[in-house]
Chain A
């Protein structure tokens, strides 16, 4: 039970007025970011990272993770009250959440969403607490070929598990890799792909890309669709809150199933969005009353919310233990870790146990705090959405650009953010997935280093990825299977048709 002892030490560090205060600030900022259209969790975390440069890493990660939880909760609030998902992962919540609110059960829908999200998150942190020691042991056996294999597995799973065209996923991902190689090469010191532009020597920061792709791109899309808020007035009645809590145990099967789906999708990089949709679909399939779904069925709120949050928290485990983020937001946070001078991966657990375990401890406290704060502030944030968009819209734009400038104080970054905004808008409109691009930008250098080091070991022979150890062979084979999955699926589909 070494994990438990470590966790208690973590709680000891987190329980200070300063850290709890940061947590509250993070959660509130997160809710704000989640509620505002165009600003999501990945983008919000990117905007905050420059402000954490002067903080110690523990305080910084508490602030960022709390913001993440807040953003997840904020996204659900707008889904239920306005039928506008503040986050892509809360799209599934609108299916039944908004009809419930329309029928006058707004408080019930919100309470069910928040509490089940909280349960999902705590389940996720519990899984992290139990698994982290084991994952670290496992990861310590890794050398460069194994790391490359795991990175490959991550990237292949994005291609194989994605719902859209696999070729589009490859294009988006490879563009991310290409952006990551711009600037000085870490191994040889050569300038790569700078084409004589001195401002490109330091490379293109993935934070600028996230702000453009997720922030500005999403705003443009919101504008194009014509923003209309048909909000439902929310007044939280304490009696309804308790009524909803009492009704919750009835749904224990849905809760458990959704939490498990979320954990699986969070640890393997499926991400919260896929988890919430999958969980909604399964809840509908197994429900006795299928016709109620889409018209305000409580289980239709509980299922996506639980899975969304348990995936969101579980995505932190592979990020800390292997250096592989399970979601776009986790990717951004991992970038933050590297900026603070920490190296995500198994050694982090050995060198900085205080950091790892305070992060995990803060995840327990942060989620509990988020549930309470979000319930208390629903009317306030619903009121923010009633501010006319001709004020809120430009404000969000300004915040995005200020965030882009702050990353390194470079003028070029403002233009780059704008460019990424256009790219993000176009790609989203044409159904190119954006998360693989961000992931490739964050992991690009590490993947390339692992590949080049393996090539040096093997003197240029690719067979090292199958012969170095059984582990690497298994991971590589799995990765290739996942990569070819869309093709296999199509072939078997065609076979079935002909038979």
Chain B
């Protein structure tokens, strides 16, 4: 994958986002109403500017020759990114269902044992103490509750 491909993909995505913004604004009126500019007035032109600027970026990157052959990600770098990103994605997905406390414990445990090569006992100790510390700091001290799931409900922790 060359850098040029990614540059083009990102610029096109940005242009698409701009088009969506302008399209979304059309529905709420982009003209002049009884109380001055209508709500869609400002975002409509913002959307157009995004499209315009993305096109300029597109032209700019295509003209600049030297970036064509530049590699965006080597295989090794891609591997490193994925080993970091996929567990993170899993953490968010699990937290949606089971709550943040269970999610973070599973995530920490997984990364420590599989990627870090820690022994299960040590990883468990780190996970449990993290849960306890976070619980005390957020729920008791600052009184900002975190997302909880069915397991906390079973244990009657709110």
**Interface membership of A385, Cβ < 8 A:** no
**Interface membership of A240, Cβ < 8 A:** no
* Partner pick for A394 among B21, B46, B111, CB 8 A cutoff: B111
Residues of A within 8 A of B47 (CB): 178
Whether A174 touches B138, Cβ cut-off 8 Å, given contacts A406-B144, A414-B92, is no
- Interface 1/0 per residue, B47-90 and A, CB below 8 Å: 10110011011001000000000001100110011001101110
**Interface membership of A460, Cβ < 8 A:** yes
Whether A452 touches B107, Cβ cut-off 8 Å, given contacts A175-B17, A411-B147, A415-B92, is no
* Partner pick for A188 among B39, B80, B100, B134, CB 8 A cutoff: B39
- Chain A interface secondary structure, helix, strand, loop or mixed? helix
- Interface 1/0 per residue, B101-122 and A, CB below 8 Å: 0001001100110011110000
B3 nearest CB neighbor, chain A only: A430
- Interface 1/0 per residue, B35-50 and A, CB below 8 Å: 1111111110011011
- Check A402–B138 contact: CB distance below 8 A: yes
- Check B46–A402 contact: CB distance below 8 A: no
Residues of chain B in range 103-158 having any CB-CB distance to chain A below 8 Å = 104, 107-108, 111-112, 115-118, 126, 130, 134, 138, 142-147
Which chain A residues have a beta carbon within 8 Å of chain B's beta carbons? Answer: 50-51, 53-54, 165, 167-168, 170-171, 174-175, 177-178, 181, 185, 187-188, 190-193, 195, 216, 219-220, 223-226, 388, 390-391, 393-395, 397-398, 401-402, 405-406, 409, 411, 414-415, 418, 426-427, 429-430, 432, 448, 451-453, 455-456, 460
A460 to B68 alpha-carbon distance, docked (Å)? 46
A189 nearest CB neighbor, chain B only: B39
A395 to B105 alpha-carbon distance, docked (Å)? 10
Residues of B within 8 A of A177 (CB): 43, 46
- Check A405–B146 contact: CB distance below 8 A: yes
Tell me how far the C-beta of A356 lies from the nearest C-beta in chain B, rounded to whole angstroms: 26
- Check A452–B42 contact: CB distance below 8 A: yes
- Check B39–A174 contact: CB distance below 8 A: no
Given A174-B46, A391-B108, A456-B36: 19 more A-B contacts, CB < 8 Å: A171-B50, A177-B46, A178-B17, A178-B46, A190-B39, A216-B88, A223-B84, A224-B80, A224-B81, A390-B112, A390-B115, A394-B107, A397-B107, A402-B134, A406-B146, A429-B6, A430-B7, A432-B10, A451-B37
Listed by A's residue number, 28 A-B pairs whose Cβ atoms lie within 8 Å are A171-B50, A174-B50, A175-B14, A181-B42, A181-B46, A185-B39, A188-B39, A216-B88, A223-B80, A223-B84, A224-B73, A224-B81, A226-B77, A388-B116, A390-B111, A390-B116, A391-B112, A393-B111, A395-B130, A405-B147, A430-B6, A448-B42, A452-B36, A452-B37, A452-B42, A453-B36, A456-B37, A460-B32
- Chain B interface secondary structure, helix, strand, loop or mixed? helix
A430 to B7 alpha-carbon distance, docked (Å)? 7
Residues of A within 8 A of B40 (CB): 192
- Check A192–B25 contact: CB distance below 8 A: yes
- Check A188–B35 contact: CB distance below 8 A: yes
- Check B100–A50 contact: CB distance below 8 A: no
Whether A391 touches B116, Cβ cut-off 8 Å, given contacts A398-B108, A429-B72, A430-B7, is yes
- Check B81–A174 contact: CB distance below 8 A: no
A248 to B47 alpha-carbon distance, docked (Å)? 52
Whether A402 touches B28, Cβ cut-off 8 Å, given contacts A170-B49, A430-B10, is no
* Partner pick for B37 among A178, A191, A455, CB 8 A cutoff: A455
Tell me how far the C-beta of A161 lies from the nearest C-beta in chain B, rounded to whole angstroms: 17
- Check A401–B17 contact: CB distance below 8 A: no
- Check B24–A193 contact: CB distance below 8 A: yes
Which chain B residues have a beta carbon within 8 Å of chain A's beta carbons? Answer: 3, 6-7, 10-11, 14, 17-18, 21, 24-25, 28, 32, 35-43, 46-47, 49-50, 53-54, 56-57, 60, 72-73, 76-77, 80-81, 84-85, 87-89, 91-92, 95-96, 100, 104, 107-108, 111-112, 115-118, 126, 130, 134, 138, 142-147
Residues of A within 8 A of B87 (CB): 394
Which 3 pairs of residues, A with B, have the shortest CB-CB distance? Answer: A390-B116, A456-B36, A170-B53
Residues of B within 8 A of A402 (CB): 100, 104, 134, 138, 146
B81 nearest CB neighbor, chain A only: A224
- Check A168–B57 contact: CB distance below 8 A: yes
A414 to B32 alpha-carbon distance, docked (Å)? 38
- Check B134–A426 contact: CB distance below 8 A: no
Most chain-A CB neighbours within 10 Å: which of B57, B96, B118? B57
Tell me how far the C-beta of A417 lies from the nearest C-beta in chain B, rounded to whole angstroms: 8
Whether A190 touches B28, Cβ cut-off 8 Å, given contacts A185-B39, A405-B146, is yes
* Partner pick for B36 among A51, A195, A224, A455, CB 8 A cutoff: A455
Whether A193 touches B116, Cβ cut-off 8 Å, given contacts A171-B53, A178-B50, A430-B7, is no
- Check A195–B57 contact: CB distance below 8 A: no
* Partner pick for A171 among B25, B54, B107, B115, CB 8 A cutoff: B54
Residues of B within 8 A of A390 (CB): 111-112, 115-118
Residues of A within 8 A of B37 (CB): 451-452, 455-456, 460
Residues of A within 8 A of B3 (CB): 430
Most chain-A CB neighbours within 10 Å: which of B7, B37, B38? B37
B110 nearest CB neighbor, chain A only: A394
A461 to B100 alpha-carbon distance, docked (Å)? 52
* Partner pick for A220 among B38, B81, B134, CB 8 A cutoff: B81
Residues of A within 8 A of B89 (CB): 418
- Check B96–A414 contact: CB distance below 8 A: yes
A402 to B92 alpha-carbon distance, docked (Å)? 10
